[in-house]
Amino acid sequence: MANLFVRFLIGGLAVLAAIGYKNYRELSEPGQRPELDNNAYWGPELSKQNYKENKAILPYDISVNPEVIADLKSQLSRPLKLQAPLEGVGFEYGFNANELQKVVKYWRDTYLNKWGEREKYLKKLDHYQTEIQGLKIHFVHAKPSKEAIKKGKKVLPLLLMHGWPGTVREFYDFIPLLTAGSDKSDYVFEVIAPSLPGYGWSQGSSKTGFGVAQVAVVLRNLMVRLGFDKFVVQGGDWGSLIGSNVASLFPENVLGYHSNMCGNNSPMGRLKLMLSFAFPSWFGDEQNAHFYKGFGDFFVFIMEEMGYAHIQASKPDTIGNALIDNPIGLASYIAEKFSTWTNPAFKTLPDGGLTKRFTYDQLLDNIMIYYVTNSITTSMRLYSESMNKAQFALSVDSLPITAKTGCTRFAHELLHVPDGVLANKFPNLVHSTHQQDGGHFPAFELPQQLYEDFTAFVQKAEL
């Protein structure tokens, strides 16, 4: 009874909120493509006057100056002054200081001693750079294997995008699967995996207003620069949102969109999401009901897990100042997400289950990319530039994606959105799956599983 009352209450609240926002007619109308300058300049003002986009696509050397490594080692060798965790606590209060001590020790005494090997590993894939709209954009370019081509597989260009706090490092096991091809698939992929602008080796904007839609323009332009007028998009986290913006804004370029974190942020989508918390059966399939949580769990999730997004969206420079050139703080801040977002149950473990799905080497590779490029502040600005009135006013979220779409849901993803909620954003949702394992970083954690889902989508969609 009480439960029913709460359902009606939440339903009522959602309806009221929706009415207050826009009327139903407006809500259900697809939006119009906003005016966006496809050639907007985002580099420093000083360089603007004589700026002529250098369209060359040049190999990029990701080598790190040995002085940076030596300095990092000396920073990691300072006596640690961490505050001991509260008694009996794992990761419930954030990154456990005892575990951090172990990470620092491994980083300093093991990882950095084999940095040459790690660097070699990171160079295994081919790195390039080109200039787009005033920004130097870095990307990994991996071509399909000759064997796959010989077997007559169809080659599709793929724009593959990471999110925060990720890097292209997440894709080092995933990309080889995509380029090798498999017996189960008629397709093989030519992969472009950019560092998002402001992330890793890609330059960040010097100007305000560089949000998710503007980033989408840059990365679409990158694909066109490389000669790919038609391509597939895959991503999670920001990669999913940027991909959704690319597919919304440039339907002429996108063959298909696949994401491991599909969402619908249109006004109608938000309303339906709220309603789905109260009436899950209206929107989802009964079989996978356990994937979809109620409003109470959603509220707890916002409270317990969204603090980072709140501060990054409002004060990215303050938290950036705290993390830049601060390897220990950076490792704690980033690696926390690879614990809790991989499986929330890891929060109760003293070591956050960090090595249950990743190795320290994997995690440190990713952290190193943020550290050596000093990119943490620019990476976090994407939150503030994407969550503000100017960005919302573009209403890209209200543009339906006409390209064929595939959505997969790994078990421990932060938030699952049922098909019924996705519907108005993705009228061409041809593939929708639920994985019984895995978390927020499936390309990194379960590359084979993500590969199989992705290729199943491509096959089904007949791209």
Instruction: Give the residue numbers annotated as catalytic, written as ranges.
Output: 237, 383, 440
381 part of the interface to its own copies, by CB under 8 A: yes
Task: List the x/- string, 104-143, binding to its own copies by CB under 8 A.
Answer: ----------------------------------------
Binding segment for its own copies among 146-154, 184-192, 211-219, 305-313 (CB under 8 A)?
Answer: 305-313
SS3 153: coil
207 part of the interface to its own copies, by CB under 8 A: yes
- By beta-carbon proximity to its own copies, the closer residue of 40 and 57 is 40
322 part of the interface to its own copies, by CB under 8 A: yes
Residue (of 187, 123, 263) closest to 458 by Cα position: 187
Out of 27, 64, 76, 96, the residue judged to bind its own copies by CB under 8 A: 96
Q: In whole angstroms, how close is the CB of 84 to its own copies at the nearest point?
A: 8
Out of 27, 72, 76, 94, the residue judged to bind its own copies by CB under 8 A: 94
Site size for its own copies (CB under 8 A): 67
316 part of the interface to its own copies, by CB under 8 A: yes
Instruction: Give the Cα separation of 97 and 331 in Å (integer).
Output: 11
CB atoms within 10 A of CB 289: 12
Neighbouring residues of 91: CB distance < 8 A, sequence distance ≥ 6 = 99, 336, 339, 340, 346, 347, 348, 349, 352
CB atoms within 10 A of CB 25: 7
Binding segment for its own copies among 92-100, 154-162, 220-228, 401-409 (CB under 8 A)?
Answer: 92-100
423 part of the interface to its own copies, by CB under 8 A: no
- By beta-carbon proximity to its own copies, the closer residue of 336 and 452 is 336
25 part of the interface to its own copies, by CB under 8 A: no
Binding segment for its own copies among 143-151, 169-177, 267-275, 314-322 (CB under 8 A)?
Answer: 314-322
Looking only at residues 339 through 378 of this chain, which bind its own copies when binding is defined by CB under 8 A? 374, 377-378
Neighbouring residues of 166: CB distance < 8 A, sequence distance ≥ 6 = 237, 239, 366, 441, 444
Residue 44 φ/ψ, nearest 5 degrees: -65, 145
Length, in residues, of the chain:
463
Query: Does a cis peptide bond (omega within 30 degrees of 0) precede residue 165?
Result: yes
Binding segment for its own copies among 149-157, 240-248, 313-321, 394-402 (CB under 8 A)?
Answer: 313-321
> Degrees (nearest 5) of the Cα angle 186, 187, 188?
140
Q: In whole angstroms, how close is the CB of 333 to its own copies at the nearest point?
A: 6
**Which of left, alpha, beta for 200 (phi over 0: left; psi -120 to 50: alpha)?**
left
Q: In whole angstroms, how close is the CB of 215 to its own copies at the nearest point?
A: 15
Contact between residue 408 and residue 450 where contact means Cβ atoms under 8 Å apart: yes
308 part of the interface to its own copies, by CB under 8 A: yes
Out of 19, 56, 289, 345, the residue judged to bind its own copies by CB under 8 A: 19
95 part of the interface to its own copies, by CB under 8 A: yes
Instruction: Give the Cα separation of 91 and 332 in Å (integer).
Output: 11
Looking only at residues 241 through 300 of this chain, which bind its own copies when binding is defined by CB under 8 A? none
β-pairing, 58-59 vs 187-194, is unpaired
Instruction: Give the Cα separation of 210 and 216 in Å (integer).
Output: 10
- CA dihedral for 411, 413, 415, 416, sign (positive or negative): negative
- By beta-carbon proximity to its own copies, the closer residue of 191 and 328 is 328
319 part of the interface to its own copies, by CB under 8 A: yes
Residue (of 189, 253, 139) closest to 457 by Cα position: 189
Q: In whole angstroms, how close is the CB of 414 to its own copies at the nearest point?
A: 14
Task: List the x/- string, 64-83, binding to its own copies by CB under 8 A.
Answer: --------------x-xxxx
| Residue 41, amino acid | Y
Contact between residue 259 and residue 243 where contact means Cβ atoms under 8 Å apart: yes
- By beta-carbon proximity to its own copies, the closer residue of 178 and 331 is 331
What are the residues binding its own copies (CB under 8 A)? Answer: 5-6, 9, 12-13, 16-17, 19-20, 44-45, 78, 80-89, 93-97, 100, 204-208, 303-308, 310-326, 328-330, 332-333, 336, 374, 377-378, 381, 384
